[in-house]
C-alpha cells in the first residue's frame, strides 16, 4: 500500500505547493517511488512546478529524479453510482491509478475549502500543514483571546481535520499523523515569533498534531519554481558553492523529512 501524504491548509499562501514539491522531490531523490496529484484545479502550482522541472531537465539535458505527476481522470456521468459525488469518484480513481506504482502519493490541496480537499484529508496517512507565522493564519486553526495566549476554541480548518479523523476511525483506518510546519519564519519580529510558538505548542496538545521544525523566510524558495528545482538539486545543476542561506534552507528540509517519520524512510540523508 502506498503511504498517502496530504499537504493542506485552507489558508492561501501558507506554502503548501512549495512544501509539496520539496517533500515529493526529496523522497524521489532518496529512491522512493513518488506520485503527485494537484487538487488545486485552478492554480495548479504543484502540477506546474513538476512540469517546469521536466521541461528544464529536458532542455538542460540533465536527468534528475522527479515525482510522477498524475491528473484527476475525467469521468463520464454514466460512470457514477446513484448519489455518488463526481469529485469523490475522480479522486478515488486517481488514487487507485497511482497506488500500484507508488511508495508515496503526495496530494497538494487548494487554499480554500473544497469537496476534493475535504475527501483528500480523510485519505491522509500523514497530513502536513504549513503555517505562516501570523495570527491571521493561526485563526483558521483556532481562535485565541486578544493576548494570543489563550485558545478560545477550534476553527474551521481544524474542525475539518477532526471530521476527516472521525471518518477514518469509522472506516477502521489508522489515525492521521498530523504535522504542522511553521513557514516563512522571520529573523525579526521576535515577540510575535515567540507568541506564535507558544500558541502552536498549546494547540498541538489540545487538538493532536505534531510540530515539525519549519522554514525561514528565504528568497531561494521564490526563485526555484520556473526551473522546477528544489534546494536538493542545486549541486546537480552545477552550482559549485551554496551560500549560507541555501545550505541552512537545505538543512531545514532535511530536518522536516526526518520529523515526518515516514515509513521506510532513512532519516539520515
Ligand X SMILES: Nc1ncnc2c1ncn2[C@@H]1O[C@H](COP(=O)(O)OP(=O)(O)OP(=O)(O)O)[C@@H](O)[C@H]1O
List interacting residues with Mg ion (CB under 5 A).
Answer: 16-17, 45
Candidate segments 67-75, 77-85, 212-220, 230-238, binder of ligand X by CB under 6 A? 212-220
Should residue 230 be labelled a site residue for ligand X when binding is judged by CB under 6 A? Answer: no
- Per CB under 6 A, the list member of 35, 126, 183, 230 interacting with ligand X is 183
Please select the residue that binds ligand X; options are 111, 182, 199, 212, rule is CB under 6 A. 111
Nearer to ligand X, 111 or 125 (CB): 111
- Under rule CB under 6 A, residue 178 binds ligand X: no
Among 184, 207, 230, 231, binds ligand X (CB under 6 A): 184
Question: Out of 104, 157, 209, 221, which residue is the one contacting ligand X (CB under 6 A)?
Answer: 221
Q: 134 contacts which partner out of Mg ion, ligand X, none, CB within 5 to 8 A by kind? A: none
- Site membership for ligand X, residue 47 (CB under 6 A): no
215 touches ligand X (CB under 6 A): yes
Q: Please enumerate in sequence order all residues whose Cβ is within 8 A of that of 200, keeping only pairs 6 or more positions apart, or say none.
A: 131, 138, 180, 182, 211
Residue 227 Cβ, how far from ligand X at the closest point, in Å? 13
Nearer to ligand X, 146 or 187 (CB): 187
Q: Which does 48 bind (CB under 5 to 8 A by kind): ligand X, Mg ion, none?
A: none
Answer yes or no: are the C-beta atoms of 228 and 49 closer than 8 Å: yes
> Quick one: 47 or 111, whose CB is closer to ligand X?
111
Asked if residues 33 and 101 have their Cβ atoms less than 8 Å apart, the reply is: yes
For ligand X, the closer CB: 19 or 151: 19
SS (H, E, C) the chain: CCEEEEECCCCCCCCHHHHHHHHHHHHHHCCCCEEEEECCCCCCHHHHHHHHHHHHHHHHCCCCCCCEEECCCCCCHHHCCCCCCHHHHHHHHHHHHHHHHCCEEEEECCCCCCHHHHHHHHHCCEEEEEEECCHHHHCCCEEECCCCCCEEEECHHHHHHHHHHHHHHHCCCCCCEEEEEEECECCCCHHHHHHHHHHHHHHHHHHCCEEECCCECCCHHHHCHHHCCCHHHHHHHCCCCCCHHHHHHHHHHHHHHHHHCCCCCCCCC
Q: What angle do CA 153, 157, 161 make, to 5 degrees?
A: 100
Minimum Å distance from CB 217 to ligand X?
4
Residue in 5, 6, 18, 107 binding ligand X, rule: CB under 6 A: 18
Q: Report the nearest approach of ligand X to the CB of residue 77 (Å).
A: 29
**Which listed range, 9-17, 146-154, 200-208, 232-240, lies at the site for ligand X (CB under 6 A)?**
9-17
Which residue ranges make up the site for ligand X (CB under 6 A)? 12-18, 40, 43, 45, 110-111, 183-184, 215, 217-218, 221-222
Amino acid at each position: 500500500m502506498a503511504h498517502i501524504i496530504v499537504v493542506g491548509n485552507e489558508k492561501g499562501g501558507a506554502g503548501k505547493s512549495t512544501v509539496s514539491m520539496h517533500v515529493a522531490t526529496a523522497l524521489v531523490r532518496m529512491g522512493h517511488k513518488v506520485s503527485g496529484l494537484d487538487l488545486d484545479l485552478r492554480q495548479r502550482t504543484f502540477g506546474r512546478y513538476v512540469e517546469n522541472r521536466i521541461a528544464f531537465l529536458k532542455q538542460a539535458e540533465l536527468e534528475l529524479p522527479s515525482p510522477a505527476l498524475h491528473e484527476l481522470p475525467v469521468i463520464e456521468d454514466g460512470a457514477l453510482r446513484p448519489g455518488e459525488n463526481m469529485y469523490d469518484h475522480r479522486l478515488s480513481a486517481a488514487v487507485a491509478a497511482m497506488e500500484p506504482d507508488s511508495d508515496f502519493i503526495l496530494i497538494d490541496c487548494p487554499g480554500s475549502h473544497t469537496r476534493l480537499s475535504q475527501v483528500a484529508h480523510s485519505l491522509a496517512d500523514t497530513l502536513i500543514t504549513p503555517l505562516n507565522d501570523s495570527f491571521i493564519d493561526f485563526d483558521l486553526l483556532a481562535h485565541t483571546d486578544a493576548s494570543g495566549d489563550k485558545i478560545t476554541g477550534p476553527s474551521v480548518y481544524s474542525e475539518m481535520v477532526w471530521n476527516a479523523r472521525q471518518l477514518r476511525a469509522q472506516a477502521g483506518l489508522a489515525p492521521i499523523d498530523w504535522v504542522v510546519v511553521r513557514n516563512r519564519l522571520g529573523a525579526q519580529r521576535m515577540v510575535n515569533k515567540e507568541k506564535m510558538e507558544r500558541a502552536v505548542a498549546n494547540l498541538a496538545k489540545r487538538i493532536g498534531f505534531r510540530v515539525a521544525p519549519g522554514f525561514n523566510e528565504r528568497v531561494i524558495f521564490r526563485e526555484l519554481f520556473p526551473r522546477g528545482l528544489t534546494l536538493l538539486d542545486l549541486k546537480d545543476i552545477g552550482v559549485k558553492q551554496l551560500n549560507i542561506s541555501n545550505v541552512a534552507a537545505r538543512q531545514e528540509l532535511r530536518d522536516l523529512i526526518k520529523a515526518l517519520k515516514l515509513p521506510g524512510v532513512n532519516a539520515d540523508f
